[in-house]
Structures are given as structure tokens and as C-alpha cells.
């Protein structure tokens, strides 16, 4: 099995794991506890249109802040605790700055990975892949994001545990960087996104995103929708 680590765009048509650690991947993973379907979209107008079409809850952010008139922000804490009204469907419309943008250009089988489901998403990817797995860091507006690199390292560690694989040097470096859990957490809290989220009062989201291997939920992206694999 060939296993690589990429930035923004995938290198394979086989299996890819999208990682947007703070916060889209974590929000999606926990949303599957309450919602049957998540539809990622790439503009605010599209999000509103789809919410009307599916009579659904709408979630999203720009610059880390919940969009006015939306039900939820891009918040794993909010989405986990959200009570779906009886007159709404169990579909969630989600638009974010980075993670949802990355999904639209992938032509592979795409899974969603975060620290919460690192072991489970690695196991699912190994079972699905024929020859290649590419872990894709979403980054932040076209720039490298430390938190995605560290979380990708945890996922790559488990992929390497579940199968014999040929790892690229970048993948190997991410694994090495992620091995000390305390350092990993400090890295995520001190990352650009981590600092920004703390400044806007979302410290509990960061605390949620650094929990390791507590969820078996793995989302798969097919036909423009995310569902539990």
C-alpha cells in the first residue's frame, strides 16, 4: 500500500482522507451522532437554498464566527449538543472556510478524518483502498496549518499499524511529530487557528478537537453528501 500526505489536493483516485482538524472534520464526525446526512456547500447562498430545499438545519462560519441567521456555527461542541426540532429533517447543511472547499475537487473515495476518529478512519481507509491512501491537509486559505499536520500524523500512524505500506517522507515526518500526545495538544492550542479560536471564545471547541480516538464515526463523501460509513 502506498501512503502519502498532501496539501489541499489529493494525489490519488483511490482513497483520500480529508483532514481539517480545527474544526470541520471534527464537526462532521460528531454531527453524525445526530444527523443522518451532511451536505457540505461552498457559498452562503447555496447553503440557504439547500436548507430551504431539505427543510434542514444550517451550520457554518466565516473567519471562525457563526454566520448570522444560521442555526449553528462550525462548532463540534454546538453540533453535538444541538437538539433537532421535530419539524426539521435530520440533514445538516454545512459551509466552512476550508474543509468544505477542499471536498469539491476530489475524485477519489473520500473519508473525513480528525483526532477523534483517527484510528477508525485509518482502519476504514485500509479496508477500502486498493493500492493507495492519501491523507489531505485542508490548511488555512491556501497555507499550511500545524494542527492538520499533527492530526494527519496520528491517522498515518494507525494506517501504518493496520497494513504494510510505503510511506512518503512527509508522511513519516507527520507520524514522528504526532507521537507525543502532550506535545501534539500544545501544538494544536498554539497553532494559528487554535489561538484565533481562543480569542473569539471557542476554547471549548479546541478542547474537543484534541480528544483522541473517542469516536468510531467515519463520514464518507459520495454524490455531494456525507454519510456514516
Counted domains in the chain:
2
Mean pLDDT in each 10-residue stretch from start to end of the chain (229 residues)? Answer: 96 96 96 96 91 94 86 93 94 85 88 98 98 96 94 98 97 98 98 96 97 98 96
Side-chain-side CA neighbours of 165 within 13 Å: the count stands at 27
pLDDT score recorded for residue 76? 96
pLDDT score recorded for residue 222? 94
pLDDT score recorded for residue 64? 81
pLDDT score recorded for residue 36? 97
For residue 100, tell me if it sits in a domain: no
Supply 225's cell numbers. Answer: 453528501
For residue 42, tell me if it sits in a domain: yes
Domain extent for 217: 2-22+107-221
Residues 9 and 121 in one domain: yes
| CA angle, 196 then 110 then 147, to 5° | 25
CATH number where 158 lies: 3.90.1560.10
pLDDT score recorded for residue 99? 67
- C-beta separation of 79 from 92 below 8 A: yes
Cβ burial of 170 (10 Å; 0-12, 13-18, 19+) is middle
For residue 229, tell me if it sits in a domain: no
- C-beta separation of 7 from 137 below 8 A: yes
Residues 18 and 56 in one domain: no
pLDDT score recorded for residue 161? 98
Residues 115 and 199 in one domain: yes
Amino acid at each position: 500500500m502506498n501512503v502519502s500526505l498532501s496539501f489541499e489536493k489529493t494525489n490519488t483516485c483511490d482513497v483520500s482522507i480529508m483532514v481539517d482538524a480545527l474544526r470541520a472534520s471534527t464537526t462532521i464526525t460528531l454531527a453524525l451522532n445526530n444527523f443522518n446526512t451532511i451536505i457540505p456547500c461552498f457559498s452562503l447562498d447555496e447553503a440557504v437554498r439547500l436548507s430551504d430545499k431539505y427543510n434542514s438545519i444550517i451550520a457554518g462560519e466565516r473567519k471562525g464566527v457563526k454566520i448570522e441567521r444560521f442555526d449553528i456555527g462550525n462548532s463540534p461542541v454546538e453540533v453535538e449538543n444541538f437538539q433537532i426540532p421535530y419539524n426539521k429533517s435530520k440533514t445538516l447543511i454545512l459551509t466552512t472556510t476550508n474543509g468544505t472547499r477542499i471536498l469539491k475537487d476530489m475524485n477519489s473515495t473520500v473519508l473525513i478524518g480528525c483526532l477523534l476518529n483517527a484510528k477508525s478512519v485509518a482502519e476504514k481507509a485500509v479496508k477500502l483502498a486498493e493500492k493507495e491512501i492519501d491523507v489531505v491537509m485542508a490548511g488555512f486559505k491556501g497555507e499550511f496549518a500545524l494542527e492538520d499536520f499533527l492530526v494527519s500524523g496520528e491517522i498515518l500512524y494507525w494506517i501504518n499499524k493496520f497494513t504494510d505500506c510505503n510511506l512518503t517522507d512527509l508522511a513519516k515526518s507527520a507520524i514522528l511529530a504526532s507521537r507525543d500526545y502532550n506535545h501534539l495538544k500544545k501544538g494544536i492550542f498554539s497553532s494559528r487557528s487554535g489561538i484565533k479560536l481562543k480569542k473569539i471564545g471557542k476554547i471549548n471547541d479546541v478542547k474537543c478537537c484534541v480528544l483522541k480516538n473517542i469516536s468510531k464515526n467515519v463520514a464518507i463523501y459520495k454524490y455531494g453528501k456525507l454519510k456514516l460509513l
